[in-house]
Copies of this chain bind each other. A is one copy, B any other.
Amino acid sequence: MPPQRFLILADGDFDPMISKTANAVIRYLPERVVGVLDRATAGSTVEDVLGFGGAIPVVGSISDGLALEPDAVLIGIAPMGGRLPETWRGWLLEALDAGCDIWSGLHTFLADDPELAARALERGREIRDVRRPPAGLTVSSGRARFVEPLVVLTVGTDCNVGKMTCQLQIVRGLVERGFRTRFAATGQTGIFIEGSGIAVDAVVADFVGGAAEQLVLETAPDADILLVEGQGSLNHPGYSAVTLGLLHGSCPDAMILCHQAGRKYISEYREADWLEIPPLTEYVSAYETAAAWVHPSKVIGIYLNTVSLDDEQARRACREATQATGLPCTDPVRFPDDTALVDAVIARMAGRLPESRTA
Contact = CB atoms under 8 A, between A and B. Distances in A.
* Interface size class, chain A: 35 or more
A200 B241 CA distance: 11
A210 interface: yes
Interface in A121-146: 139-142
B234 A293 contact: yes
Nearest to A200: B205
* Most central of A207, A208, A210, A249 by chain B CB within 10 Å: A208
30 contacts: A139-B238, A139-B239, A140-B237, A141-B237, A142-B237, A142-B269, A142-B274, A201-B204, A201-B205, A202-B204, A203-B204, A204-B204, A205-B207, A205-B208, A208-B241, A209-B237, A209-B238, A209-B239, A209-B241, A234-B244, A234-B290, A235-B294, A241-B241, A241-B242, A241-B244, A241-B246, A243-B244, A275-B294, A286-B289, A289-B289
Given A141-B237, A241-B241, A275-B294, 19 more contacts: A141-B238, A142-B275, A202-B204, A203-B204, A204-B205, A205-B205, A205-B242, A205-B245, A206-B239, A208-B241, A234-B244, A234-B290, A234-B293, A237-B294, A240-B244, A240-B248, A241-B242, A241-B244, A290-B290
